[in-house]
Structure 1
Amino acid sequence: MTKSELRIKYTKQRETLSQDEVLSLSEKIFYNFLEEFKLVENQKVHCFLSMLEKKEIVTRFFMEYFFKNKIRVFVPKIFKGKLISVEITQETAFIKSFYGITEPESNIDSGEKDFDFVITPLLYCDQHGNRVGYGKGFYDEFFGSINPNSIKVGVGLFPPNESIDDIWEKDFPLDYLVTPVEVLSFLGLTSKSTK
Structure 2
Amino acid sequence: MLKAELRKKYTQKRKALSPDEAFLLSENIFENFIHYFNPKESEKVHVFVPIPVRKEIDTQIFIHYFLAHNIRVYVPKIVGDQLINIEVFEETVFEINNWGISEPVSNEDSGENAFDYVITPLLYCDQKGNRVGYGKGFYDGLFQNVSAETKKIGVNYFDPDEYVDDVWENDISLDYLVTPTKVLSFLSGLE
Give the TM interval when normalised to the shorter protein: over 0.9
Q: Which runs of 4+ in 1 moved over 6 A?
A: none
User: In the aligned structure 1, how far is the partner of 2:181 from the partner of 2:146?
Assistant: 29
Q: Which residue of 1 aligns with 2:160?
A: 160
Q: Which residue of 1 aligns with 2:125?
A: 125
Q: Which residue of 2 aligns with 1:104?
A: 104
> What TM-score, normalized by structure 2, do the two folds share?
0.97
> What TM-score, normalized by structure 1, do the two folds share?
0.95
Letter in 2 for 1:93: V
Where in structure 2 are there 5+ consecutive unaligned residues?
none
Where in structure 1 are there 5+ consecutive unaligned residues?
190-195
User: In the aligned structure 2, how far is the partner of 1:60 from the partner of 1:103?
Assistant: 12
Q: Which residue of 2 aligns with 1:92?
A: 92
SS of 2:167's equivalent in the other structure is coil
1:70 aligns with 2:70: yes
SS of 1:36's equivalent in the other structure is helix
Cα drift, residue 4 of structure 1: 0.5
Cα drift, residue 96 of structure 1: 1.1
Cα drift, residue 26 of structure 1: 0.2
Residue-by-residue CA offset, 1:110-130 (whole Å, 9 max, x unaligned):
000100000001100000001
Q: Which residue of 2 aligns with 1:171?
A: 171
1:35 aligns with 2:35: yes
User: In the aligned structure 2, how far is the partner of 1:5 from the partner of 1:100?
Assistant: 24
Alignment coverage as a number of residue pairs: 189
User: In the aligned structure 1, how far is the partner of 2:138 from the partner of 2:67?
Assistant: 26
Give percent identity, aligned residues only. Answer: 55
RMSD: 0.9
SS of 1:142's equivalent in the other structure is helix
